Homo-oligomer: A and B are copies of this chain.
């Protein structure tokens, strides 16, 4: 690893001069400029970013905390964050919290130690690790409440309402909503969207619950189809649950979308892998990540965010599980 000192010696100048040409500030004569530049090239000198960090107390890194990269929702998000971050010269440290507050705390400490310039985090759970008094720019994704932290969310309520209305409009008479876990904010919002779409409309509806996991969804689906008959439309709280219900329905010989229509939520890529393809409420996942990152960088650069809540629109993608 070649240092600024070696460059200085080789160029016959002082380290200060070299520093000046690197950072393009201060005066430096045309002549020495060229000289130093050529030596930098020759030695393939790269300023040591650790030393820089120590001095500046910044690292050009941003920390990203997500529950689990293995959950299909997050890779695209992470990708967006990295793409945008890189575009602005920031690197990304990715951490999987597993929704575990201890882990989250550990990562936050880590981030402070490393002088990360900002933090983006997603928690699907309600209970909050203390993310305030952290003294580092921070943006939340998919998180509500905690009104002091700028957040980027998608419009879960509205998307759910639209999805339910779509089913109704497609002639569904007996509709079900398979809601997600109660402690997860988006799941709650989607539930309310559903309720507000069916209440007072004179339609029969029923509510069940499932985890956001295929196996559990399948179990719940088995039970569901045992105990409920005549259901001709299901709005599921996410695509994983929808996939589970679709699988079981198909297995039972129920015709989709002829006799049963299904709508999921998220716009996960695997919605296109299954047949019939899943109709779903698509979240602009990549955009959410990109917006959050731009917002964070803005804050890092000293600008105040214009608003605290950035709500991104959802889109219905009609595919094979609706008529």
Contacts and interface: CB of A to CB of B under 8 A. Distances in A.
Interface of A: 1, 46-51, 53-54, 57, 59, 61, 68-70, 72, 74-76, 78-79, 82-83, 91-96, 109-110, 112-115, 214, 240, 243, 246-247, 250-251, 269-270, 272-275
Contact of A114 (B49, B269, B274): B49
Contact of A115 (B50, B69, B110): B50
A68 to B, nearest CB: 7
Nearest to A1: B112
Contact of A96 (B1, B79, B247): B79
A277 to B, nearest CB: 8
Contacts of A47: 113
A306 B76 CA distance: 37
A296 B112 CA distance: 26
Nearest to A106: B86
Contacts of A46: 109, 112-113
A63 to B, nearest CB: 10
A251 B273 contact: no
Contact of A273 (B83, B92, B243): B243
A247 B275 contact: yes
A243 B109 CA distance: 43
Contact of A113 (B50, B78, B94, B247): B50
A284 to B, nearest CB: 15
A69 B59 contact: no
Contacts of A114: 49-50, 91
A76 B82 contact: no
B270 A246 contact: no
Given A48-B113, A83-B96, A240-B273, 20 more contacts: A1-B112, A46-B113, A49-B110, A50-B50, A50-B53, A50-B59, A50-B114, A69-B75, A69-B79, A72-B72, A78-B94, A82-B94, A91-B93, A91-B95, A91-B110, A94-B94, A246-B275, A247-B275, A250-B275, A274-B274
Nearest to A44: B109
Contacts of A270: 270, 273
Nearest to A80: B70
A113 B72 CA distance: 32
A95 B94 CA distance: 10
Given A46-B113, A50-B114, A79 B75 contact: no
A247 B91 CA distance: 39
9 A-B pairs closest in CB distance:
A49-B113, A270-B270, A243-B273, A94-B94, A69-B75, A247-B275, A274-B274, A250-B275, A50-B53
